[in-house]
Amino acid sequence: MDLGAKQWIYTVHGDKYSIVLTKFMVLKSEYLWKYSCGGGAQMSEVRRTVDRMMNCEDILMNFVVADEVKAGPILVGAERVRDWGDARNDGDGGMGLKDEEGSRVREVGLSSRRTEHRKRRGDCIREFHKVLGRMPLRYNYGKVVNSAGEQGLCLKGGKLVFCDQYQR
Respond yes or no: is residue 86 known to be catalytic: no
Q: How much is the pTM? A: 0.67
**Which candidate in 58, 83, 86, 123 is catalytic?**
58
> What distance in Å separates the CA atoms of residue 27 and residue 115, rounded to the nearest whole number?
30
Contact criterion met (CB below 8 Å) for 63 and 134: no
In 3D space, the residue among 8, 18, 130, 123 whose CA is nearest the CA of residue 65 turns out to be 18
* Residue 20 confidence (pLDDT) above 80: yes
Predicted confidence (pLDDT) per residue in 36-89, tens digit: 999 899 999 999 999 998 889 999 999 999 999 998 888 776 666 666 666 666
**pLDDT, position 155:** 72
SS (H, E, C) 11-69: CCCCCCECCCCHHHCCCCHHHHHHHHCCCHHHHHHHHHHHHHHCCCHHHHHHHHHHHHH
Contact criterion met (CB below 8 Å) for 144 and 77: yes
Predicted confidence (pLDDT) per residue in 121-142, tens digit: 889 999 999 999 999 999 888 7
Strands 152-156 and 81-82: parallel
> What distance in Å separates the CA atoms of residue 34 and residue 55, rounded to the nearest whole number?
18
